Chains A and B, each alone.
Chain A
Amino acid sequence: MILETAIKNFRRHLAGRVLYLVALALLVMVSYDCLTTFQDSFISRISQGNPALVALLLLFFSLLGFSVLIIFYANRFFIHQHRSEIGLMIISGLSRGQIALIFFLETLFGELLALGFGLLLGLLTNKLFAMLLLRLMGLRAATNHWFSFSALWKTSLGFLIVFALVGIFDSSRIFSLRTVRLLYPNELGDIRQRNSWLNRLLAWLGPLLVIGGYVAVFKLSWIHFMETLRFSDRTATNTVLIMGALILGIWFCFRNTLPALFSWLQGTKWAYDQQRILDLATTGQEVQFHHQSLTLTTLFVTASVVLLGFASVLYSDGFRNLEEEAPIDLVADRQFHDHVLQQIKAKGGHLQRLAHLPVKIMPVTLHGPKSDVIMSQATMPIEIVGMHNYLQIQRHQKNLLPVILDRNQALFISQDFQYQHVHLHELMRNQVQFADGKLPRLQIVAFSRVYPLGSNLFFGNVLVVPDDIFEQIPSANSRVLVGYRLKKIAPDSPFLKKIDDDSYQSKASRQMRYRHPQQLQKAQITIYQDVKRDLSNAYISSNYSVRGPSQVLLQRVLGAIVFVIGLLAILMTFAWASVCSLRELSEVERTRFDYLTLTKIGIDQHHLLRYSNWKNRMLFLSPVIFGIGNGLLVMRFVGLYLNHLPMKLLYLLTAAVFIVYWCFYLFTSYNYRRIIKMTTPPDQQGR
């Protein structure tokens, strides 16, 4: 009988839970795809055991964790839906254990259906999943795998553990339910608008915490913590405090502020002249009743927007960085190039010399708007190349900015400039003064992020100057870089990877000790070679660089991370929207007889449906809009530091998030109206 009751309950509620089960199936599908792809030997071989693939494993466990949360919440609404039945079973003499078993079986049928369907979808989409991942990782290889017994049972086991875990939570909840509350539900009545000082305080505290959190986000340099991730740092405490304040603020807003505001609105005379305002005001108790899920919706939407933002930044910026890299296979300082060349030739590699680039270094001062911000100090070291040599390199490196410099003009090359939040036109109004007082001031007339022969062999900022100026600059600490084209060795071969790794070792890297007093002439540059790397020193560069391995590694890591983050955000959006839909549909079981009563006392059904639409829209979309606002604000803030943040792409993805929630709202609203319309007095139903 327990089984029979569970099956019948499951069948009765199936229609309203379809989207939730589809969302669950999608989580299973992606989990299976992640494991299969991670375990596939072919993919592992062609990606050369790239550590980025571990991201797939992280995604698998993240999805399991997220599944616990959404199933937990969905079951909470199911229990809410079943409360009078549970009460009846208790008073009929069924033990709590038997009731928990009925409920567990009922939910398990749906979960098993989703698991089976998800695994089937996983088998069907596995090849597509792997091909998309490989494409983003820059691997052009066809993969034909789709079935993995190991992934199949591991995914099944993982989700069965999730189902069991949530089953235990649900059982403990059923054991703690009070019978009288189940049989005489009056939840909204219990939540009285307490006019206590605490309630009023929290109602004010909510928006204050949110606004304070936003202000703190802009004022405190928590971004430093995000860069270093050092928890011992003071900024870590600030970051945690800001995030905590924001979450608490959002919670109080839904729990206290909005209900208090709506309650106040209900008492105002003018609300009765504005039907929409009155409709809004009457949703106050619903908002308070669901404040927990509304807060979570806001947080999940924020997280989705931020994740999509980071995915789009990584995709656009990371791949632009890849494109900006010099398409020159090997660059070496003269001092080292014999040693490297010998190694490559010994391995059968063929080298073709392309161009050489003399480089000099000198302290400079900028004069002009925001020069102190650009330099970050009183003076700055700058590496200098001549225009003729720059143009020579341009023949082999087409992504270099084409520029012809007149007398006393200079091209400024920097990748750090974009983080300084200075407009380009302000940079162009700056002049460069060299430490050598005999040299004339140069006007910066152009800016580029692309370094000749690649960025690895430079400390930071580079200046391209007219040849006559370059000739006058002292040759202390000068060097010559030589670029080569490399043939007969694959760019991602282990041999080149080893050379690349070696180029970052202490023996092959250069360090610059720079002292920058207020007076330019007293600024000193000392370059150390072959010393133990001092991580606190910001000025480090390589003596030689091979392009292939780091390019390949970067592309694969970027591809995998963008893929994983984007997928997580999309799944999170879809799955949580389905839980919101369940919440509203579980509510209609409680409210439909209220609507019926209102119809009986003469209120037009058209008006009731309009009110239900309004209420659904308010509960469904207000936390979504709040979350989107939060997410965009966070990304906009990050954008202050990343001028290149592709906000257009982020806006597009944010619109996609909103559309998903909007579609779920339409589905929910349609079903809600359908149930209200179907509700008739029992004696009017067919016998």
Chain B
Amino acid sequence: MRMVEVKQVSKSFGARNNLVRALNNISFTIDRGEFVGVMGPSGAGKTTLLNIMSTIDRPSVGRVYVAGQEITALPERDLATFRRENIGFIFQDFNLLPALSVSENLVMVLSMLKIPRDEVQKRLAYYSEHLNLNKLLTRYPNELSIGQKQRVAAARALMTQPKILFADEPTGSLDSKSATELLQYLATINLENETTIMMVTHDAFTASYCNRIVFIKDGAFYSEVVRAGSRQQFFNQIIDMQAAIGGGKISDFRNRD
């Protein structure tokens, strides 16, 4: 079942002399339950693509379908409902609400959705347990370490039980231990709950937790790598592709082998 379909999307910034084309007629699909990584050099348009797919931004041209709905045509009032019911988002810099405690950050959206209190508490207990947040629930964001903040951000994104989770460099600010813990957890929920995940990263190790990597360059689809064997082999494939995308064409890289 198809979860995301990106059809001939282009995105430009600026005007006339200062026109910058961040995405250039890009198309691809993501099926339900996939864990897809998006990689590419700096300025390739990774974050712009993620923003458009997660309803943060709109494309200049093209269409995006998420969970069967064309999000590029949804009016703002319907987008709010769509986000609540379908989307979770993990940011690189966490974006926790500083005025609210950890538990308040986690339940805020659910409280406004008027979900029964028992259900909210059940989800809070579940994700606190799984992301090891039980002792942090009464603390405020400024009292947390970076790893703790990112776990809270992940729990908050999952509290609404989204159909698709978007993550923008989620391990970018984390040390390797915290990063590994988070990635393992994302891989677990991807497997167990069939939550579709799309993650933007520039790090091959982080990307190796995905099932498929979409490489983009200069705003256009460049290539993709699908995991077939072990994570180590997948990691090597990613490294190879990164080397190829760094200069020349992929065929050049293969020829050198």
Contacts and interface: CB of A to CB of B under 8 A. Distances in A.
A98 B85 CA distance: 16
B77 A95 contact: yes
B143 A93 contact: no
Contact of A93 (B81, B95, B96, B107): B81
Contacts of A178: 57
A535 interface: no
B142 A88 contact: no
Contacts of A92: 83-84, 89, 108-109, 156
B111 A1 contact: yes
Given A179-B57, A683-B145, A91 B99 contact: no
Interface string B47-64: 100010011110000000
Nearest to A685: B142
Contacts of A12: 98-99
Contacts, number: 87
Interface footprint category on A: 20 to 34
A367 to B, nearest CB: 71
A179 B98 CA distance: 19
B95 A84 contact: yes
A211 B113 CA distance: 59
A5 interface: yes
Nearest to A178: B57
B80 A179 contact: no
Nearest to A98: B112
A687 interface: yes
B74 interface: no
A683 to B, nearest CB: 5
Contacts of B235: none
B208 interface: no
A141 to B, nearest CB: 53
A94 B80 contact: yes
Given A179-B56, A180-B56, A94 B109 contact: yes
Given A1-B111, A179-B57, A192-B18, A682 B80 contact: no
Contacts of B104: 1, 4-5
Contacts of A93: 80-81, 83-85, 87, 109, 113, 160
A64 B33 CA distance: 58
A9 interface: yes
A178 B156 CA distance: 22
Question: What DSSP secondary structure best describes chain B's contact surface?
Answer: helix
A2 to B, nearest CB: 7
A614 B112 CA distance: 45
Nearest to B162: A93
A183 interface: yes
A-side binding surface: helix, strand, loop or mixed?
helix
A12 B101 CA distance: 13
B143 A180 contact: no
Contacts of B107: 1
A683 B57 contact: no
Contact of A5 (B85, B97, B113, B144): B97
Contacts of A682: 142, 144-146, 149
Contact of A85 (B85, B97, B111, B156): B97
A184 to B, nearest CB: 8
Contacts of B143: 685-687
B195 to A, nearest CB: 16
A90 interface: yes
Contacts of A507: none
Interface in B129-169: 142-146, 149, 156, 160
Given A4-B104, A84-B95, A96 B112 contact: no
Interface in B108-127: 108-109, 111-113
A459 B110 CA distance: 83
B109 A180 contact: no
A5 B145 contact: no
B80 A90 contact: yes
Contact of A683 (B51, B76, B146, B156): B146
A96 B95 CA distance: 18
B124 to A, nearest CB: 13
B52 to A, nearest CB: 9
Contacts of B57: 178-180
Nearest to A6: B99
A637 interface: no
A407 interface: no
B243 interface: no
A487 interface: no
A9 B99 contact: yes
Nearest to A176: B76
Contact of A183 (B91, B99, B112, B160): B91
A175 interface: yes
B226 interface: no
A8 interface: yes
A156 B227 CA distance: 67
Nearest to B54: A91
Given A98-B112, A180-B56, A175 B76 contact: yes
Interface centre among A4, A12, A682 (most CB of B within 10 A): A682
Interface string A649-687: 000000000000000000000000000000000110111
A658 to B, nearest CB: 37
B100 interface: yes
Given A12-B98, A12-B99, A95-B80, A183 B56 contact: yes
Contacts of B85: 93
B159 to A, nearest CB: 9
Contacts of A9: 99
Given A96-B80, A683-B146, A88 B87 contact: no
A180 B11 CA distance: 13
Contacts of A11: 99
A124 to B, nearest CB: 34
Interface string A5-43: 100110110000000000000000000000000000000
Contacts of A184: 47, 51
Interface in B37-79: 47, 51, 54-57, 76-77
Given A1-B107, A4-B104, A96-B80, 12 more contacts: A8-B99, A12-B99, A92-B89, A92-B108, A93-B87, A94-B109, A98-B112, A180-B51, A184-B47, A682-B142, A685-B143, A687-B143
7 contacts: A1-B111, A4-B104, A5-B104, A88-B97, A98-B112, A179-B56, A687-B145
Interface of A: 1-2, 4-5, 8-9, 11-12, 84-85, 87-96, 98, 175, 178-180, 183-184, 192, 682-683, 685-687
Q: Which 10 residue pairs spanning A and B have beta carbons closest together?
A: A93-B84, A1-B111, A8-B99, A95-B80, A93-B83, A180-B57, A88-B95, A92-B109, A179-B56, A12-B99
